[in-house]
A and B are shown apart, each in its own frame.
Chain A
């Protein structure tokens, strides 16, 4: 584009043309979703297997691996994604703030459960399962609506259904035994993060 004086009509054309060019939406790849999805599935499978073999509840501390690995990798991946896209729209900003809220509330929820355990010996960790399958899918569905991405809405919907079921179990005093709950939890995360993540990556490759 050359630097030149414009007529009023040309000015209007420049404005219209630039607005048109920014309409192309790039959702980006699904690598962050895949990282969280595979991380959660691997850790959940590991905890489930170790609990089944040893029957020792201490293996539940391995759940913290999700926060350590995910919490470290996410900011790095977000910066890379942002640099690759080169632009941040209003919907990107809203989406980023929603996930930030999910992250901070997850930290607070973890601290609450830890405080219950250390102060009173009460096991409130079941709440974290409901958290993972209610707050996270809700954020995913919102992002899907913002970006008009059906895989996120559908995946989030499956996760949310599992989350509502989990909440009903917790409220109704139904014990969440690992032999049936863990496969359901793992399947929910596959539908919620791994499948949409691969769909987003395939779309990114096509572009």
Chain B
């Protein structure tokens, strides 16, 4: 049986990727609210996902405030789909 992708097999990273799979893009504040995580923890996990090439992080500004917008990359989408397939195998779904 295949192993679950260790990068996705963690609560917060999986939550972030699950959200980003259903929308085109989401900003940091939205992700923090939906995942009910702390800013520091979310920031670290986003960096890990971005470093793996699973998500794209764009830092910009909205007026005077900084705004970080995240979206899935094709590699991230593929990894998530594989993760779900493997999960189905484990759970015999």
Binding site for B on A (CB under 8 A): 1-6, 8-12, 14-15, 17-19, 21-22, 79-80, 82-83, 85-90, 92-93
Contact = CB atoms under 8 A, between A and B. Distances in A.
Nearest to B37: A1
Q: Size band of the B side of the interface?
A: 20 to 34
B87 A3 contact: no
Contact of A18 (B25, B27, B34, B91): B34
- A-B CB proximity, top 8 nearest: A86-B30, A18-B18, A83-B62, A1-B37, A87-B26, A8-B90, A15-B18, A86-B27
B50 interface: no
B10 A4 contact: yes
A87 B27 contact: yes
15 contacts: A1-B41, A3-B45, A8-B91, A9-B91, A11-B4, A14-B15, A18-B15, A18-B18, A19-B22, A22-B19, A22-B34, A79-B62, A87-B25, A89-B23, A89-B24
Contacts of B59: none
Contacts of A19: 18, 21-22
B14 A15 contact: yes
Interface string B1-43: 0001000011110110011011111110110011111000100
